Amino acid sequence: MAKRALCIGINNYPGTGMDLQGCVNDAGDWAAELAARGFKVASLLDDQATKAAMLKAMGDLIAKAAKGDTLVISFSGHGTYQPDTDGDEADGLDEALCPYDLQTNGEALTDDEIRNLFLTRKSGVRIALISDSCHSGTVTRAARAEKDADSRPRFMPMGNWLPDKLLPKNRSGKVAATMSGPAGSSPLLAAYSNKLGDLLLSGCKEGPNNFSYDARIKGRFNGAFTYYALKALKTMKPGATYADWHEAIAKYLPSASYPQSPQIVGSAGARKGKIFE
């Protein structure tokens, strides 16, 4: 039974004015932890993490996996929305992850694309998904200002990368200032399969006005979720379950500095599974 992982971290988003600072550190931290637990780890950092490269890396990881194998995919970077083009979204929006070339190539990695990749897996392949990004309903070109200059949401407004002609319009025909996204809207959640025993850990609740924060903690930039998830993991005894881990993370988040509530999604069996086994 093989153990493989893909760790993605993107700080730089050319042309968007929305660079982050802790995502590459996140990817390195997850990679180091997983390697120490016997995983063969591949990483995509900044300009390596184009949309094409992300699709290929995820596809290769899944294609090589056989029954009994465990896969872990971590993503640290911006999340976004974009108008749905195939009519499968009730709210008219596709949820998406933001690759490095989001603005220069003009394409996000949508929930539909990720789900289609996951459907190619062989029977008996277990996947744990770790998402340190966020999704909101904002369309405007500037993210909301934060009181703490060392902290900002990991959400990419559509207006920062899509041309006006493709942005949702309000009743007057002008670009909408805000939109409400539904609960349960994340590309990693869309890829997750309860029936196949997947486990999803995310840095915040789904839906509007819930954010994962890019933060500086003890002089170093990280995602707040990644930092505290790994801190909590170090306290876990051998044989600890994902449910145990999530409970330990909840001792740190939400906090006054980072008002985000990490989520665990999975069947009872998946939650009771041993961490990264």
pLDDT for residue 198? 86
Cβ-contact 187, 198 below 8 angstroms: no
Q: Is 135 a catalytic residue?
A: no
How confident is residue 207, by pLDDT bands cut at 50, 70 and 90?
A: low
Give all domains of the chain, ordered by start, each with its CATH number. Answer: 3-271 (3.40.50.1460)
Catalytic residue among 7, 23, 134, 204: 134
Which tokens belong to 273? Answer: 């599974």
* CA 270 – CA 274 distance, rounded (Å): 9
Q: Which strands make up the sheet holding 109-110, listed edge to edge?
A: 79-83, 93-97, 109-110
204 flagged as catalytic: no
d(CA 248, CA 252): 8
Q: Quick: pLDDT tens for 178-200.
A: 555 544 456 777 777 766 778 88
Task: List the one residue out of 247, 8, 16 whose CA is nearest residue 152.
Answer: 16
Confidence of residue 92 (pLDDT cuts 50, 70, 90): low
Query: Which one is catalytic: 7, 78, 135, 246?
Result: 78
